[in-house]
Amino acid sequence: MQPHTLNSTSPLISALNRQKTSHTPVWFMRQAGRSLPEYRKIRGVESILQVLKHPELAAEITVQPVRRYGVDAAIIYSDIMAPLDPLNIGLDIKPGIGPVVNPPFRTLADLDRMRSLEAEDDLASMAQALELVRREVSVPIIGFAGAPFTIASYLIEGNPSRSYENTKFLMVTNPLFWDRLINRLVDIIADTLALQVAHGATVLQLFDSWVGALSPAHYRRYLLPHMRELTERVSSLGVPLIHFGINTGSLLDTVAELSIAALGVDWRVDLGEVAARFGDRLAIQGNLDPVLALAPTDVLLGEVDSILRHSARAPGYIFNLGHGVLPTTDPAQLRAITDYVHDYGEPIRSQVLQESQ
Ligand code: 1CP
């Protein structure tokens, strides 16, 4: 394995600054755990919320994929709902299901059930895990949080949903409830990200996984002002922020107005088009369909090659999947992607660019 480069000159940070890189950086959403045998060995059967109470375990799980794949970043092992766990809102993360909130948040009175976050105390385990990871790796550490809509969807629905009917209903019918809830979440998210930076995160990602369920008009009306405030607060931390959501093709023009460094996209968008449209302002991250990592290696690498070609018009580009690693993925496939992107990413991208000029 090649020695890791220092944080300040790491390919990930350079790409986020839309500068030239020694190789194309790559990491995988949900790279920590899931498909790794060494993860399953130490993970046990407890809820992830219990695992997160042991910083040395969380740190080890964070570092495993960096060792195994040689990826260009570690992402702290946590969950988008973890910062809400200490707030006593009736949260559980059920193995095989996901976040459950009982009873769900539906009225103004429910908001009083959620106390304020005291990040240094409430998230002390997360801070310790970050400090441990910082000693172990020289690649950048990505801190992350869920964005307000995606967290609100779990609080209001009470469980994973694909229609978000209660969330959308309250959003359009109860502006007082909606604005108060989202304001509370903006505070929690901004404080969580600030804590992560204070303890070693040098890149941040905001997961707005489910916001693609909204129309562009509703995104503008009910979320954009809050997202502006959140991303402006985060930009004062001085580290690059990546925005990610699935199914967000029709929202990208609006999302690109936020104070962010990079747009993360899924496979439903044409990467070439996104690179041409936003690459002069933002770094671009994505967008291999995670299902393709299950295909035979030659088929998979053909798809990786095609994505690299389509990315050429974005000076800042980070290879990633378009959503999280599927649990059935063979780790050797992720290693093969990483090696291919490292060896051929920049030669391919500069060749395509030259040919188009
Ligand atoms: O690399 C990593 O795996 C880092 C850890 C990580 C991250 C980045 C976890 C651990 N969760 C997340 C983010 C997360 N959590 C997102 C955004 C990314 C995405 O869209 O996948 C979302 C929406 C969640 C919410 C969540 N937590 C779900 C999805 C539920 C749904 O609506 O479909 C699930 C299944 C969880 C539980 C969870 N989070 C993480 C793990 C390892 C697990 C599984 C725990 C278990 O089953 O025991």
- Residue in the structure block whose two tokens are 């959003």: 171
Question: Is the Cα torsion angle 6, 8, 12, 15 positive or negative in sign?
Answer: negative
Rounded to 5°, angle at Cα 88 from 83 and 89: 85
User: Catalytic: 115?
Assistant: no
What pLDDT tens digit does each residue of the chain (357 aa) get? 344 444 458 999 999 999 999 999 999 999 987 778 888 878 777 889 999 999 999 999 999 999 999 999 999 999 999 999 999 999 999 988 999 999 999 999 999 999 999 999 999 999 999 999 999 999 999 999 999 999 999 999 999 999 999 999 999 999 999 999 999 999 999 999 999 999 999 999 999 999 999 999 999 999 999 999 999 999 999 999 999 999 999 999 999 999 999 999 999 999 999 999 999 999 999 999 999 999 999 999 999 999 999 999 999 999 999 999 999 999 999 999 999 999 999 999 999 999 998
Return d(Cα 228, Cα 283) in angstroms, integer.
18
Q: Which atom of ligand 1 is nearest to the CA of 43?
A: 48
User: Catalytic: 343?
Assistant: no
Contact 93 CB / ligand 1 (< 6 Å): yes
- Residue in the structure block whose two tokens are 């910062």: 83
Give me the pLDDT at residue 8, please.
54
- Cα torsion 161, 163, 291, 63 to 10°: value is -40
Q: Which of 72, 79, 110, 266 is catalytic?
A: 79
User: Catalytic: 154?
Assistant: yes
Contact 79 CB / ligand 1 (< 6 Å): yes
Contact present, 73 and 141 (Cβ < 8 Å): yes
Q: Which DSSP string corresponds to 232-276?
A: HHHHTT-S-EEEE-SS-GGGHHHHTTSS-SEEE--TTS-HHHHHH
Contact 267 CB / ligand 1 (< 6 Å): no
Rounded to 5°, angle at Cα 165 from 214 and 89: 105
Please, which residues bridge with residue 255 across strands? Answer: none
Going through 256-327 in order, the beta strands assigned E by DSSP cover 262-264, 283-288, 317-321
What are the φ/ψ torsions at residue 338 (nearest 5 degrees)? -60, -50
129: left (phi over 0), alpha (psi -120 to 50) or beta: alpha
| Sheet with 317-321, side-by-side order of all strands | 74-75, 141-146, 203-207, 241-244, 262-264, 283-288, 317-321
Contact 207 CB / ligand 1 (< 6 Å): yes
Give me the pLDDT at residue 268, please.
98
Give me the pLDDT at residue 35, please.
77
ω into 331 cis (within 30 of 0): no
* Closest residue to atom 44 of ligand 1, CA basis: 95
Contact 216 CB / ligand 1 (< 6 Å): no
Give me the pLDDT at residue 317, please.
98
Give me the pLDDT at residue 341, please.
99
Q: Which of 18, 34, 184, 277 is catalytic?
A: 34
User: Catalytic: 34?
Assistant: yes
